[in-house]
Amino acid sequence: MARYTGPVCRLCRREGVKLMLKGERCMTPKCAFENRQETPGVHGAKRQRKLSDYGTQLREKQKARRIYGVLEKQFRKHYDEARRQTGATGERLLQILELRMDNLIYRMGFADSRKQARQLVRHGHFAINGHKTDIPSYIAKIGDTVTLVERSKEKTYFKVVADSIGKHDAPSWLTLDAKGLTGRVVRLPEHAEIDSLLETNLIVEYYSR
């Protein structure tokens, strides 16, 4: 499966904002973005020209892709699904992205970043409604329950997680059983509850050209 393997701090510099791609490290002085914020490339330090409307829309779409770690083909698929559903397309797109399996693992506190969560899912550490899945792009529904598979509870990593997950502040649209290491989707997330840097109207405008 295709994926970005380059330096993730470069992506933050390209978008001119912290995308929180390294989890808690992004909140420490070790964050590379703090000391080097110019756009990547030979001419990155030079003053950037003003973006056109198309350029602004493109950058917002790219920012969304990079925050959630989704490549273009899959991102467009999520957008098309959001457009087919009732309600505001931009809000539905955010909900679909938030309900991805890898994002759920990240939101529940099993991983420090979506990239790490994606790896944990691919290694088969989690089950949805009792059925093990290794598909990070699986879209959960209201009422779905995510559990850590039994064999994974003995791994050192998850023993450490078990000691700290009780302090994790999961979003209100999820319930988290820290003792049982399970989580459940109780409702759809609202736009205001998603700590997103995104202006989804620009993404809709980009794909509506």
We report the CATH number of the domain holding residue 119 as 3.10.290.10
Same domain, 20 and 80: yes
Same domain, 14 and 92: yes
Same domain, 134 and 58: no
What whole-number distance in Å separates Cα of residue 86 and Cα of residue 15? 31
What is the pLDDT, as a whole number, of residue 12? 57
Q: What angle do the packed helices 8-15 and 53-68 form, to 10 degrees?
A: 150
**Could you list the mean pLDDT of each consecutive 10-residue stretch along the chain, which spans 209 residues?**
57 59 56 57 56 91 91 96 94 96 95 93 96 96 96 94 90 93 95 80 94
Task: Flag whether 3 is in a domain.
Answer: no
What is the pLDDT, as a whole number, of residue 1? 46
Same domain, 141 and 123: yes
Same domain, 73 and 109: no
Same domain, 168 and 202: no
Full domain range(s) for residue 13: 8-97+197-207
What is the pLDDT, as a whole number, of residue 47? 47
Task: Flag whether 77 is in a domain.
Answer: yes
Same domain, 14 and 55: yes
Same domain, 17 and 62: yes
Tokens of 123: 């290694």
Angstrom CA distances, 18 to 9, 10, 12, 65, 129, stand at: 8, 10, 5, 14, 34
